[in-house]
């Protein structure tokens, strides 16, 4: 049979296939190569053994997960204040790995001006951008639409409202049973492993406890600009081949910043991430 790995606890894999759940082990060789949540596997349902892992359409190292179709970047308008540098890292990482990103601005009840400011920056780049008030269940229908036929993973700083959003999406039933809230009997949050939850056919959400962002250092500093979506078609205007768009003259990116076609905030974050990557490459830490 073929199914999808929805959790992995000490090499015991939970597989979902045709709406049934199976618990399987893996053959030694497969175990070594690694089977991760999200993998599509062929398994023997009598012996409870995974025989084969299908090729992945993508693979994220941290959190370990495969075959995701969408990354949902959550920030809050206030408390905590929006971390646009982290958002830009996540967007670049999504472009790098070839997964479409969606932006959710949550806590819109706390600072409307900030919401508009963020929409102005990112609306221009043609990323889907949703505004929600998870506490009062506002904007959740829009999220439901965007989840359709996708395997989504939520990313974002602690406190931005990811758990509240997930609870809104899954509804009270599941929240009460504690599946998504990850609370133990005493009501404390526990760290559990990454798990895929099925909403509908072809619709899953990864709950990633304790995870906030991806490892952007997988990207080469020299390639970073092409993962800033709106920079891409300006690079051809750079005079120098191999232009890094920082100190060079006659740079297409800098010209676009100067005439307002690229947001200054995005450009500043590009430089910060570039310097971080460059430093990491030079010192190999
Ligand atoms: N005012 C306001 N508070 C919210 C909203 N969404 C979540 N919160 C609150 O923000 C806090 C952190 O939310 P939580 O879902 O635990 O964030 P997580 O760390 O990203 O999972 C909780 O006290 C929530 O009740 C919102 O839209 N507006
Ligand atoms: Mg949470
Ligand atoms: Zn340039």
> What is the full per-residue pLDDT of the chain (285 aa) written as tens digits?
999 999 998 889 999 999 999 999 998 888 877 899 999 999 999 999 999 999 999 999 988 999 999 999 999 999 999 999 999 999 999 999 999 999 999 999 999 999 999 999 999 899 999 999 999 999 999 999 999 999 999 999 999 999 899 989 988 655 544 455 555 555 555 546 788 989 999 999 998 877 788 889 999 999 999 999 999 999 999 999 999 999 999 999 999 999 999 999 999 999 999 999 999 999 975
What CATH architecture applies to the domain 219-283?
Answer: Orthogonal Bundle (1.10)
Mutate to test the pocket of ligand 1, among 72, 82, 164 (most ligand atoms within 8 A of CB): 164
Domain 2-55: assigned CATH number: 2.40.50.140
Q: How far is the CA of 56 from the centre of ligand 1 (A)?
A: 34
Atom of ligand 1 nearest to the CA of 167: 15
- Whether the full predicted model's pTM is greater than 0.75, yes or no, is yes
Question: What is the Cα–Cα distance from 59 to 228, expressed in whole angstroms?
Answer: 20
pLDDT for residue 185: 52
CA distances from 144 to 128, 138, 168 (A): 13, 12, 10
What CATH architecture applies to the domain 60-207?
Answer: 3-Layer(aba) Sandwich (3.40)
Domain ranges of the chain: 2-55, 60-207, 219-283
Nearest to 165 by CA among 157, 177, 174, 154: 154
3-state secondary structure of 238: coil
Identical fold for domains 2-55 and 60-207, yes or no, is: no
Q: The tokens of 92 are what? A: 């670049």
Rg (CA), the chain: 21
Question: What is the Cα–Cα distance from 163 to 17, expressed in whole angstroms?
Answer: 27
pLDDT for residue 192: 62
Tally of CA atoms within 13 A in the half-sphere of 69 that contains its CB: 10
Q: How far is the CA of 96 from the centre of ligand 3 (A)?
A: 19
Q: How far is the CA of 237 from the centre of ligand 3 (A)?
A: 7
Q: The tokens of 78 are what? A: 């206030």
Please enumerate, as own/partner, the contacts of 277-281 that have beta carbons within 8 Å and a separation of 24 or more: 277/216, 277/217, 277/219, 277/220, 277/221, 277/224, 278/221, 280/217, 281/220, 281/221
Q: The tokens of 89 are what? A: 């890292």
Residues with CB under 6 A from ligand 1: 106-107, 109-110, 133-135, 156, 158-164
CA distances from 282 to 191, 221, 278 (A): 35, 11, 6
CA distances from 260 to 101, 150, 245, 265 (A): 24, 34, 16, 11
Q: How far is the CA of 67 from the centre of ligand 1 (A)?
A: 28
């Amino acid at each position: 049979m073929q199914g999808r790995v929805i959790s992995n606890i000490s090499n015991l894999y939970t597989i979902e296939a045709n709406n049934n759940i199976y618990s399987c082990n893996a053959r030694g060789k497969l175990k070594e190569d690694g089977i991760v949540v999200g993998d599509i596997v062929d398994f023997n349902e009598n012996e409870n053994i995974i025989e084969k892992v299908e090729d992945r359409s993508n693979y994220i190292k941290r959190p370990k997960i495969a075959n995701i179709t969408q990354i949902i970047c959550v920030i809050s308008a206030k408390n905590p204040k929006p971390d646009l540098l982290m958002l830009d890292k996540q967007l670049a990482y999504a472009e790098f790995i070839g997964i479409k990103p969606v932006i959710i601005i949550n806590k819109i009840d706390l600072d409307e001006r900030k919401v508009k400011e963020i929409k102005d920056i990112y609306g221009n780049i043609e990323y889907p951008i949703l505004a929600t008030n998870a506490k009062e269940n506002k904007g959740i229908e829009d999220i439901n639409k965007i989840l359709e036929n996708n395997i989504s993973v939520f990313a974002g700083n602690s406190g931005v409202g990811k758990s509240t959003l997930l609870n809104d999406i899954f509804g009270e039933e599941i929240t009460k049973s504690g599946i998504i809230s990850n609370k133990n009997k005493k009501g404390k949050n526990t760290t559990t492993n990454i798990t895929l939850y099925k909403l509908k056919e072809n619709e899953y959400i990864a709950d990633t406890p304790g995870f906030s962002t991806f490892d952007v250092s997988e990207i080469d500093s020299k390639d970073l600009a092409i993962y800033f979506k709106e920079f891409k078609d300006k690079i051809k205007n750079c005079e120098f081949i191999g232009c890094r768009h920082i100190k060079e003259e006659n740079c297409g990116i800098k010209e676009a910043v100067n005439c307002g076609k690229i947001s200054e905030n995005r450009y500043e974050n590009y430089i910060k991430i570039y310097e971080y990557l460059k430093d990491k490459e030079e010192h190999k830490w």
